[in-house]
Amino acid sequence: MGAITLNAVEKWYGEVQVIKGVNLAINDGEFIVFVGPSGCGKSTLLRMIGGLEDISRGSLLIDGQDVTDQPPSKRGLSMVFQSYALYPHMSVRDNMGFSLKTAGAPKAEIAEKVDAAAETLKLDQYLERRPKDLSGGQRQRVAIGRSIVREPTAFLFDEPLSNLDAALRVEMRYEISKLHQSLSATMIYVTHDQVEAMTLADRIVVLDAGRIIQVGTPRELYNHPGNVFVAQFIGSPKMNVFGCEASGDSYTVPGGRTGPYPVGPGATQMGIRPEHILVGASGMGQCDGTVDVIEYLGADTFVLMDCGAAGQINVRISGDADLKVGDVVGLSFDAERTHFFDADGNTINT
Ligand SMILES: Nc1ncnc2c1ncn2[C@@H]1O[C@H](COP(=O)(O)OP(=O)(O)OP(=O)(O)O)[C@@H](O)[C@H]1O
Ligand SMILES: [Mg+2]
């Protein structure tokens, strides 16, 4: 079991408050991802859950039990960090079994658990090696294996893959996803990586300046962001947001044309993702844009358009499409995928 509940959790360093009243109920077996800008408090919150940082105010419950004042060893959680923190003088086997050994587990039990974890993580061949004789990905697997043998109630990961190269990150992402399926343990995972967040999470928690801004499934956050911050934080490249003039049944793009779409009262900004804009002949759609920068990625091309008063708008087109810097085109926004925000940046439901 690994249900984790945070009640009005706060963190103060002297006069400075870095975590501001976080309430969150994590279900047993859930994969939760914390995202947010650098310095927003992701690691601090994770370390507070793990017991490596005190909770200044509020409470933390694991399976209904208040563990706010319990040391890490009593919480039954296991942390995996970006730096693997393996013992260099020990073999992979000894690194993985170390916590069980210090807890006084019998040798046979340690060997059995290490072997099982090594098999899951495809480390069987490396058990007698030292960490220095392993690749970065293999070392990170050992760090994860060391957590698995402890059979924790939940795994806490703080950017575990950020030291790995792009190809290895993808491979390890699959591994972690499969691990979650096979162990069905609760996992809380901090990352900067959009793809990791979207692909691994059952629910994503978006944090900013020590507060939870929105919690939802990847699809909910992508399709129904609650405000401009989440709209632009989830999705890559980010959503285009610009001012608009709106009345009851239409909006006008600054310097552009009117879009027929029911808009609630008070919309001052609108948003549209690069993948929800269609490029046509100039004069078509909601505004014209002049091609400014072309980023060819193979399957897709992202085109930064200069749209005058509406500013720069990023548009995704097919990698095969043929546009040149200086071309003038018309941009049509998918009406179903257009977002509107009020002066405070909150989403207006239409
Ligand atoms: N000991 C400390 N004293 C004062 N402030 C601290 C202390 N430790 C962390 N902070 C502050 O707490 C805030 C949150 O830090 P934290 O490391 O949790 O951010 P993060 O979201 O994990 O960032 P990153 O994405 O860069 O890892 C930061 O503004 C940081 O400066
Ligand atoms: Mg951090």
Ligand 1 in reach of 44 Cβ (< 6 A) = yes
**Among 213, 232, 251, residue at a domain's last position:** 232
Q: Is 254 found in the same domain as 175?
A: no
Per-residue pLDDT, 101: 93
Nearest CA to ligand 1 atom 16: 41
Report residue 115's pLDDT band, with 50, 70 and 90 as the boundaries.
very high
Dump pLDDT digits (tens) for 38-63. Answer: 999 999 999 999 999 999 999 999 99
- State residue 107's pLDDT score: 94
| Domain membership of residue 29 as a residue range | 4-232
Arithmetic mean of pLDDT, 305-311: 95
Domain count, the chain: 2
What is the percentage of the chain residues whose pLDDT exceeds 90? Answer: 76
Nearest ligand for residue 38 CA: 1
Q: What is the pLDDT of residue 350?
A: 63
Ligand 1 centroid, distance to 71 Cα (angstroms): 21
Q: What is the pLDDT of residues 205-232, one digit of tens each?
A: 999 999 999 999 999 999 999 999 999 9
For residue 19, the surrounding DSSP H or E stretch is strand 16-26
Q: What is the CATH number of the domain that holds 92?
A: 3.40.50.300
Q: Are residues 262 and 333 in the same domain?
A: yes
Best CA proximity match to 131, nearest among 90, 189, 75: 90
For atom 30 of ligand 1, the residue with the nearest CA is: 39
Could you tell me if 190 and 217 lie in one domain?
Answer: yes
What six digits make up the tokens of 183? 């162990």
239 pLDDT higher than 70:
yes
Tell whether 202 and 256 lie within a shared domain.
no
**Would you say 139 and 86 are in contact if contact means Cβ atoms under 8 Å apart?**
yes
Task: Please work out, in degrees rounded to the nearest 5, the angle formed at the alpha carbon of residue 338 by the alpha carbons of 333 and 340.
Answer: 135
CA of residue 206 to ligand 2 center, whole Å: 14
Select the more confidently predicted residue: 169 or 3: 3
pTM: 0.93
Mean pLDDT score, 275-279: 97
Q: How many angstroms does the Cα of residue 348 sit away from the middle of ligand 2?
A: 32
Burial category of 320 from C-beta neighbours within 10 Å (exposed 0-12, middle 13-18, buried 19 and up): exposed
The answer to whether the CB of 42 is under 6 A from ligand 1 is: yes
Among 183, 215, 232, give the residue marking a domain's end.
Answer: 232
- Rounded average pLDDT over 335-342: 92
Q: Is the CB of 39 under 6 A from ligand 1?
A: yes
**Is the domain of 191 the same as that of 262?**
no
As a whole-number percent, the residues of the chain with pLDDT over 70 amount to 100
Q: What is the pLDDT of residues 164-186, one digit of tens each?
A: 888 888 888 998 999 899 888 99
* Interval between CA 73 and ligand 1 midpoint (Å): 23
- For residue 81, give the ligand nearest its CA: 2
pLDDT given for residue 274 in this prediction? 98
pLDDT, residue 198, reads 96
* pLDDT tens digits for range 292-301: 999 999 999 9
Per DSSP, the residues of 263-281 read --TT--EEEE-GGGEEEEE
Q: Would you give the distance in Å from CA 165 to the centre of its chain?
A: 18
Q: Give me ligand 1 centre to Cα 195, in Å.
A: 23
Q: How far, in Å, from the CA of 43 to the mean position of ligand 2? A: 4
Q: Average pLDDT in the 235-256 region?
A: 89
**Cα-flanking dihedrals φ and ψ of residue 299, to 5°?**
-70, -40
Q: What is the mean pLDDT of residues 233-238?
A: 94
Pocket of ligand 1, candidates 44, 81, 191: which has the most ligand atoms within 8 Å of its Cβ, to mutate? Answer: 44
How large is the average pLDDT for residues 130-152? Answer: 90
Query: Positive or negative CA dihedral for 8, 14, 15, 18?
Result: negative
Mean pLDDT of the chain: 93
Give the nearest ligand 1 atom to 210 CA.
14
User: Which is higher by pLDDT, 172 or 158?
Assistant: 158
Looking at ligand 1, which residue's alpha carbon is closest to its atom 31?
39
Same domain, 255 and 200: no
**Could you write out the three-class secondary structure of 190-202?**
ECCCHHHHHHHCC
CATH of the domain at 312: 2.40.50.140
Q: Is residue 347 part of a domain?
A: no
Higher per-residue pLDDT: 150 or 32: 32
Domain stops at, among 209, 232, 255:
232
205 lines ligand 1 (CB under 6 A): no
Which stretches of 18-91 are DSSP H helices? 42-50
Do 228 and 244 belong together in one domain?
A: no
Residue 349 falls inside a structural domain: no
Would you state the pLDDT for residue 52? 94
